[in-house]
Homo-oligomer: A and B are copies of this chain.
């Protein structure tokens, strides 16, 4: 069952910049996402903007957090993609979630003092690192933000549940189709996709590690989806040629993403 996992030295590049310059770029995608379900006042937004944070940039495959290590910060993904994973005893890797800009990577750190999984940059990624104590204080002070953050973790949880279903009860074709549906849907909701096309930097090995398959079988299954005219996937670019078909193959129902309520 062993599958190769490239190990990359965590040489983190840390950069500090003037807070006021980056302020809007840090908050905008987060506010956009939260705005779908929670209404924040100007006071709420000011309080968020006043949060202390540090910008960090990571190269591809770098670890942002490691299982077993103590937690002190929460991170928002600003640019690039990231994923969370766990390693099993024989060295195989299971990817647990993918993340796109504007999403928190580890809100559970607020209350959990030791990480129970790893976080890796999928491609070159930049994040905002916020001391968890500051976030907790903000949650104590502002009910709307408290609700938004809790809701964020609850939706996270809902997505894990759907992944359990995906891995447990769908075949290779269905699993991959479902994953593509989810990512396309989230990229669209975030305003990052362009119509039916989007940047899609996942390697086939990463898709395999997320769907519980091998890279070889992932390759064959993707080819079948291409041959059937459902998708086009080349050089980090995904085009969904037949959305309805993909939804049917993946048995995809967006309810679990809770874009509203």
Contact = CB atoms under 8 A, between A and B. Distances in A.
Contacts of A86: 161-162, 165
A150 B147 CA distance: 11
A43 interface: no
A116 interface: yes
B168 A212 contact: yes
Contacts of A6: none
A258 to B, nearest CB: 6
Interface string A190-215: 00000000000000000001111000
A255 interface: yes
Interface string A146-158: 1100110110111
Interface of A: 1, 67-68, 84, 86, 88-89, 92-94, 96, 108, 111-114, 116-117, 140, 143, 146-147, 150-151, 153-154, 156-158, 160-165, 167-171, 209-212, 251, 255-256, 258, 261
- The 3 tightest CB contacts between A and B, nearest first, are A168-B212, A160-B160, A167-B167
28 contacts: A1-B169, A68-B255, A86-B162, A88-B169, A88-B170, A88-B251, A92-B169, A93-B169, A94-B165, A108-B154, A111-B151, A111-B154, A112-B151, A112-B154, A112-B258, A113-B261, A114-B261, A116-B258, A117-B161, A140-B143, A153-B153, A156-B157, A157-B160, A160-B164, A164-B167, A168-B209, A168-B212, A169-B212
Given A88-B169, A108-B158, A168-B212, 15 more contacts: A94-B169, A96-B164, A111-B147, A112-B154, A114-B261, A116-B161, A116-B255, A116-B258, A150-B153, A153-B157, A160-B160, A160-B164, A163-B164, A167-B212, A169-B212
